[in-house]
Copies of this chain bind each other. A is one copy, B any other.
Amino acid sequence: MTVTLADVAARARVSPATVSRVLNGNYPVAASTRERVLRAVDELDYVLNGPASALAAATSDLVGILVNDIADPFFGIMAGAAQSAIGDTGTGRAGGEKLAVVCNTGGSPERELTYLTLLQRQRAAAVVVTGGALVDPDHIAALTAKLTKLGDAGTRVVLCGRPPMPGDAVAATLAFDNRGGARSLTEHLLSLGHRRIGYVAGPVERSTTRDRLDGHRDAMTAAGLDGPGLDRLTVYGRYTRASGYDATRELLAREPSLTAVVAANDTVALGACAALREAGLRIPDDVSVAGFDDLPFSVDAVPSLTTVRLPLHEAGVRAGRLAMGADTPPPGGVSTIRGELMVRASTAPPRA
C-alpha cells in the first residue's frame, strides 16, 4: 500500500542502503546512481517515513518553538522569524528539511512542561522557548530538570526573550534588557517633567513584569520619587487590553491628578488609553501614556504610542539559527538584547 524505501531501491536497482544514503546526502554516491534513485523517488512519489527514520537515527527533524500566547503578535513575530530561519537553513532538497513547529502554552506552566515532554518524546532536534518565565521556584526547578533531560538527550535548547536559567541545560539564551528599557522609558517621562506617574504592570509572577517594573523603579528612585507612593501608583494585571483598561481606572481612582501612565506593554497601553479617554482625559495633553515592545499597531495608534522597541524579528531569527546550530552561541551562552526608546505622540510635558 504505502511506498517504502525498499520499493524505491528495487525500482532503482540498488540496495536500500544506497537509497538512504542519497536521501540523507551525507555520504558519497555516484552521480549516475543518485540520479537513478532520485528519479525512482519521484516516480513512486515516495515520502520518507519520519518515525522510522527518527527511530533508527535516534533523532528527528522536529524543532519546537514554545510561546505563551500565539494570538499575541509579540510571540507571533518571534516565532515566525525563528520558523523561517529554521526552514531557510534547509538545503532546499528534502533531505535537510526541519519541521519547525510552534506550541502555544497559553502561559500555563503545566502546559509548558507537557509540551516539553511531548517534544522530548518526539526526540526533537531542538527547542526554542520564548517569552517571560514564571518566577515560581518550583516551576523553575521543574523546567530546569526537564530542559536538562532534553539537552542530555541531544536536543539543543535555546531561550529567546527569556532570562537565563541556572545550570548548563541551555545551549544559548537571548535575553531582552527589559529593566534597562523600562528605566529609559520612565526617565523620558521624568525628563518631560512628570512626577505623578502610574504604572500598569503585568502578572506579578512573570519575570518580564518584574524586570520592567524594576526598571521603572530604578528611574523613579534615582529621581528621588521612591517611597510608599510608588506602590500606591502600581497596579498589577495581565498582558491584555482589558487589564490595561481596568488597571487605569483603578489608578485614576487612587490618584486623579496623575499626569502619566506607563504600561507593561503596548496592548496594555491601548487599554489604558481607552480608560483615560472615557474619563474625559486627552492624550497626551492631560495624561501621557507609554507602552513597551513597539508592536506594529503602536505606530498607528491615535496618538501614536511612545514605547520601547524590542527587535523581535531579529531575536527570532537568531534563536532559529542558534537552534539549528548554524550560529555559535555567544560567549557565556547569554546575549542581552537592548530595547530602543521610541518617542512618539502619546507623551508630552504635563500641563502647567
Q: Which residues of A contact B (CB under 8 A)?
A: 2, 45, 47-55, 60-62, 64, 69-73, 76-77, 79-80, 83-84, 87, 94, 97, 99-104, 106, 111, 114-115, 117-123, 149, 153, 241, 270-271, 273-274, 277, 296-297, 300-302
Are A70 and B102 in touch, CB under 8 angstroms?
yes
Select from chain B the residue with minimum beta-carbon distance to A118. Answer: B99
Q: Which residues of B contact A87 (CB under 8 A)?
A: 111, 114
With contact pairs A2-B153, A49-B123, A55-B49 given, residues A97 and B80 touching in the complex (Cβ less than 8 Å): no
Q: Smallest CB–CB gap between A129 and chain B, Å?
A: 15
Report chain B residues within 8 Å CB of A61: 118
Identical chains in the assembly: 2
Q: How far is the CA of A51 from the CA of B51 in the complex (A)?
A: 4
Contact B100 A103 (CB under 8 A): yes
**DSSP majority for the A interface?**
helix
**Chain B residue with minimal CB distance to A297?**
B297
For the complex, what is the distance from the CA of A19 to the CA of B205, rounded to whole Å?
A: 39
Q: How far is the CB of A104 from chain B (nearest CB, A)?
A: 5
Given contacts A54-B51, A111-B87, contact A71 B71 (CB under 8 A): no
CB-CB < 8 A to A302: which residues of B?
277, 301-302
- Minimum CB distance partner of A274 in chain B: B300
Given A51-B50, A241-B296, A297-B270, also A104-B118 (CB < 8 A): no
- Are the CB atoms of B97 and A118 closer together than 8 Å? yes
| A76 pairs with B71, CB closer than 8 A | yes
Contact between A122 and B50, CB atoms less than 8 A apart: yes
A277 CA to B49 CA, complexed, in Å: 56
Which residue of chain B has the shortest Cβ distance to A312 in the bound complex?
B71
